[in-house]
């Protein structure tokens, strides 16, 4: 009996077929494990069923397969999926080598060199099957097969033409074809720009579709993550969920979300971790790699990634540390082929100083070493608290030309696309909206707000000049005797205000 069919039968009869399928895929099972036409057809059907972007992770039932493929006789198996996988891997390697040797033995003299090439290719494939972590790809071995896979994926209307995990926004799916294996996405923004909310929305969206998601956060505990994800999935106002101020219908909706996502037949899962080391110190890239290997998620979210241990004796909250953290995260995602989203803080002062010239926000992060060189997709968030909308700017994008999209950002009831592809929020507009929002919150009069804005502009001018001339430029104002509105003249005869 074929080892491939035994793998399929063991997976379908497992207590958790979805988890067993995930084991097979992470173990490197592909069409080479199924040499027969019919068993390969069964595997390809199961794989398409499992990889549906909007109902990911579900496996067809045993009876479903029997009805779909009545000529295929699935064997009865007692072995564990992981044990069978090891035997099947050995058998697949032997078959590859035997086929190559047979071809060499039967070749004509003029085909000798071609047969030697076949032997070498078979040996490379065998090493790839047996050596975990071997990422070498040889064009001759993979070019044709991968082309056919790509064309089949982008032409598959049922999957929306996606070649990776789906984004929550159709416009971004069209531009990227999904979140690809091993990609690192980086979000950065100033404080209070909904960074964590939008990161959680992406993670919760994938979890809701049946994907396995790993979430790291050093700033928030499980209780906060739990309530936020619940509110997102139920599309309810977060404050109402947090305070328990719910109608019977809203409370029933929350319970329905929990029941559905904890049911035995729900394939998705969500794992929360703080990545701390056993001694309680900050986790690092090695701990991150360990968690990914242990949990084998489809997607990882690293909230407050800047609080991870950068290693190499670097101190947290230093640009060299931020650069090291993102570089290490990139290497981990690429080597595990697990896509991940990293959330970082933006340089507030640099962002404000460059708000007119640096619309996309790339310069406000390039000061942190080579951080903007690491992500496959870099997203800078700019929010408007008056309209509860956020623009996702894409200053770093290896595989698309879409400049931005704007979404609603109402925690946690609405993070949908606004519907206008030309709508955008600049940082200058965001700062103005924040000032108005703050003024409304504290009940300022128009006169008080105007005075505060004038004072803020004066302080900014002093800071800009101080950056040009050096910190000694401000020493004469360190006594604090002069107020914010006092006048002075610099060496060039310009008037300004003290700090």
User: How does the average pLDDT of the chain come out, rounded?
Assistant: 81
List of residues 6+ apart from 236 with CB closer than 8 A: 246, 250, 253, 254, 412, 413
Residue 369 has what pLDDT?
46
What percentage of the chain has pLDDT greater than the value 70? 77
Residue 497 has what pLDDT?
37
Q: Is 195 helix (H, G, I), strand (E, B) or coil?
A: helix
Lowest-confidence range among 152-161, 173-182, 243-252?
152-161
The tens digit of pLDDT for each residue in 323-369 reads 888 888 898 999 889 999 999 888 777 666 666 655 566 665 544 44
Residue 473 has what pLDDT?
47
Using the predicted structure, report yes or no on whether residue 371 has a pLDDT greater than 70: no
Q: Which two tokens stand for residue 298?
A: 């489809």
What is the C-alpha to C-alpha distance for residues 301 and 342, in angstroms, rounded to an integer? 6
* Alpha helices (runs of H) in 262-359, residue ranges in sequence order: 285-295, 319-336, 348-353
Using the predicted structure, report yes or no on whether residue 419 has a pLDDT greater than 60: yes
Residue 357 has what pLDDT?
56
- 219 versus 108: the higher-pLDDT residue is 219
The tens digit of pLDDT for each residue in 468-489 reads 655 454 444 444 444 434 433 3
Eight-class DSSP state of 417: B
The whole-model pTM stands at 0.76
Q: Is 487 helix (H, G, I), strand (E, B) or coil?
A: strand
The tens digit of pLDDT for each residue in 99-144 reads 767 766 666 555 666 666 666 666 666 555 554 445 678 888 789 8
């Amino acid at each position: 009996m074929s080892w491939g069919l035994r793998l399929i039968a063991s997976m379908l009869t497992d207590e958790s077929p979805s988890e067993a399928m995930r084991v097979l895929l992470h173990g490197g099972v592909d069409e080479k494990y199924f040499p027969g036409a019919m068993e390969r057809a069964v595997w390809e059907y199961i794989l398409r069923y499992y990889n549906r972007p909007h109902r990911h992770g579900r496996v067809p039932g045993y009876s479903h397969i029997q009805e779909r493929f009545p000529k295929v006789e699935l064997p009865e198996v007692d072995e564990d999926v992981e044990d069978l996988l090891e035997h099947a891997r050995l058998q697949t390697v032997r078959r590859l080598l035997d086929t190559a040797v047979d071809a060499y033995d039967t070749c004509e003299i003029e085909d000798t060199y071609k047969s030697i090439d076949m032997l070498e290719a078979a040996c490379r494939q065998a090493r790839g099957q047996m050596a975990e972590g071997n990422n070498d790809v040889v064009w001759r071995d993979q070019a044709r097969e991968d082309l056919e896979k790509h064309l089949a994926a982008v032409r598959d209307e049922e999957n929306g033409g996606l070649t990776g995990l789906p984004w929550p926004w159709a416009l971004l799916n069209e531009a990227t074809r999904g979140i690809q294996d091993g990609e690192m996405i980086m979000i950065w923004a100033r404080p209070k720009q909904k960074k964590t909310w939008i990161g959680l929305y992406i993670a919760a969206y994938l979890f809701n579709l049946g994907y396995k998601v790993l979430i790291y956060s050093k700033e928030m505990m499980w209780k906060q993550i739990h309530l936020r994800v619940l509110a997102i999935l139920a599309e309810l106002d977060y404050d109402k969920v947090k305070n328990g101020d719910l109608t019977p219908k809203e409370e029933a909706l929350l319970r329905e979300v929990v029941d559905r996502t904890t049911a035995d037949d729900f394939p998705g899962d969500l794992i929360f971790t703080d990545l701390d080391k056993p001694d309680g110190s900050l986790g690092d890239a090695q701990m991150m790699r360990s968690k990914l290997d242990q949990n084998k998620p489809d997607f990882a979210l690293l909230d407050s990634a800047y609080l991870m241990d950068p290693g190499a004796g670097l101190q947290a909250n230093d640009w060299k540390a931020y650069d090291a953290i993102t570089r290490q995260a990139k290497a981990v995602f690429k080597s595990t082929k697990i896509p991940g989203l990293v959330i970082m803080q933006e340089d507030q002062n640099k962002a404000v100083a460059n708000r007119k010239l640096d619309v996309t926000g790339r310069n406000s992060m390039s000061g942190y070493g080579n951080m903007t060189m690491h992500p496959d997709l870099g997203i800078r968030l700019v929010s408007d608290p008056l309209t509860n909308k956020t623009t996702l700017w894409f200053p770093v994008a290896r595989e698309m030309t879409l400049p931005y999209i704007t979404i609603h950002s109402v925690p946690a009831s609405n993070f949908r696309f606004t519907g206008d592809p030309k709508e955008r929020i600049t940082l200058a507009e965001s700062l103005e909206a924040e000032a108005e929002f703050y003024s409304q919150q504290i009940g300022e009069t128009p006169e008080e707000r105007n005075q505060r804005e004038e004072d803020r502009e004066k302080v900014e001018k002093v800071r800009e000049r101080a950056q040009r001339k050096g910190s000694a430029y401000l020493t004469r104002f360190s006594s604090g005797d002069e107020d914010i509105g006092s006048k002075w003249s610099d060496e060039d005869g310009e008037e300004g205000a003290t700090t």
